[in-house]
Amino acid sequence: MADAMPENLGARVPLNQGSPIPWLGLGVFLSEPGRVTEQAVRWALDAGYRLLDTAAMYENEADVGRAVRASGVPRDQVFVTTKLWFEDLGYASALKAGRASRDRLGLDYIDLYLIHWPRAPSPQVRIDTWRALAELRDEGVCRAIGVSNFTIRHLEELRAASTIVPAVDQVEFHPWIYDPEFLAYAAQHGIRPEAYSPLTRSRSLGDPTVGEIARAHGRSPAQVLIRWGLQHGIVEIPKSVHRERIEENARVFDFALTPADMDRLDALRSGARVTKWDPATIP
């Protein structure tokens, strides 16, 4: 059954573990550590966002946690994701890194802990890392576990080695790398797809097709791209450190793209990524 489309910024979708995740959140990749990140998170929470996405590699986990604690929003209403960097893959190192991320956040628990990249010396290291994440979940360090940048091949590897299915696979996803096979696989196995860089880091906001559709709906290109992902059943985490952009990105629940709009956006697929690594090249 297809997902019911979210009607407001407070809408959430169930995961196969842990608490339901908000459909739309704030990503803080490349947000400057310190005041800049902390202020962006405060603005997002003030605007009604309840999903925040950080990572050990971003070096701003502490700022995210500080903003959450200072916001006055009850902890159980905020869904916080962070990630294990590939340099910490391995059973013992993943256990240590997960506990350290929780401590840097200054929160009692992490809502969702992800393996950031499948870049590992061997498949066995990925499997050992997944076992460590399961242990962190059992300890209460995190409530749910998942992956990021895993292809179907990497997901199949985990499925063959563990009974725990990732709650989320966070991947770069936008019309230019639209992948219906991945979406179908995720739906089949109960994995929620989540899009980072849904706005292509602004590189494609000037695309003529996106612009035409945006004008037809009286919306911005960014709003069209976010709405496209939502209508494909994808959790979206656009990044911004500007208050007006954070608020604009949230105004996507009071319009809908038509089937023709969706087809035109799907057809933009070219394989052009904004990330420097293509997960499909990782053994």
Asked whether 12 and 23 are in contact (CB, 8 A), the reply is yes
* Beta-bridge partner residues of 171: 195
DSSP 203-258: TTTT-HHHHHHHHHHT--HHHHHHHHHHHTT-EE--B-S-HHHHHHHH--SS----
Strands (E), the chain: 12-13, 21-22, 26-27, 51-53, 79-84, 110-115, 142-148, 168-172, 192-196, 235-236
Give the span between the Cα atoms of 73 and 107, in whole angstroms.
13
Tell how strand 26-27 and strand 21-22 pair up.
unpaired
Q: Which two tokens stand for residue 14?
A: 């169930």
Give the span between the Cα atoms of 35 and 121, in whole angstroms.
36
Q: Which residues are catalytic?
A: 58
Closest among 65, 66, 152, 155 to 111, alpha carbons compared: 65
Q: How far is CA 232 from CA 6, 180, 259, in A?
A: 12, 9, 11
Amino acid identity, position 36: V
Report phi then psi at 149, rounded to 5: 65, 25
Query: b or e along 108-120 (b: 16 or more beta carbons within 10 Å of the residue's beta carbon)?
Result: ebbbbbbbbbbbb
